[in-house]
Amino acid sequence: MTIDDAVILALGTGFTGAILWPGDDAYEDARKVHNGMIDRRPALIARCLGTADVVAAVNFARENELDVAVRGGGHNVAGNAVCDDGLMIDLSLMKGIHIDPDARTAQAQPGLTWAEFNRETQVHGLATTGGCSTTGIAGLTLGGGLGWLMGKYGMTGR
């Protein structure tokens, strides 16, 4: 599928992240997931930096009737984080985290891996039932929440 340059520019209006398409220098690395057997090529990759970028990307995909894949940390073994000929919404650059040690809670953006999340929670003596260090927090949480501490503390949750 080819997407008209004017249509791509419409997505770029107000979009703070990067928009990549085949031929861009960063495209090949951005489309890869942990499972090297997955070799899909999206028509566009929207590398979001915040919530407004995600909203713009979802609206763009809906308005242009594009298939959508969402990439968090990029570990995705099944390959669902990338699609052929659609829009890949890449959240891997969204790595913000806020720890409230008194409430013993964390609010984190979907691009964090468990290594990054654990580094921040451990400063406050906190831990959660996450996955291996290279797994993204969003994918593991939404994909069932099975993690290292599950046997003692239960599944990863919100």
Question: To the nearest whole number, what is the mean pLDDT of the chain?
Answer: 86
CATH classification at residue 26? 3.30.43.10
Residue 114 backbone class (left: φ over 0; alpha: ψ -120 to 50; beta: rest): alpha
- Please count the structural domains in the chain: 2
102 in the same domain as 71: no
pTM here is 0.85
Q: Identify the residue whose tokens are 């242009």.
A: 64
Q: Please check whether residues 50 and 12 belong to one and the same domain.
A: yes
Closest CA to 111 of 134, 93, 88, 128: 93
**Does 129 fall in a domain?**
yes
**Residue 74: per-residue pLDDT:** 80
**10 pLDDT exceeds 70?**
no
**Residue 151 or 6, more confident:** 151
Phi, psi (deg, nearest 5) at residue 85: 65, 10
Per-residue pLDDT of 40-73, as tens digits, reads 999 999 999 999 999 999 999 998 899 999 998 8
Residue 158 lies in a domain: no
Whether residue 39 is found in the same domain as residue 109: no
User: 98-121: per-residue pLDDT in tens?
Assistant: 999 999 999 999 999 989 999 999
Q: Are residues 16 and 85 in the same domain?
A: yes
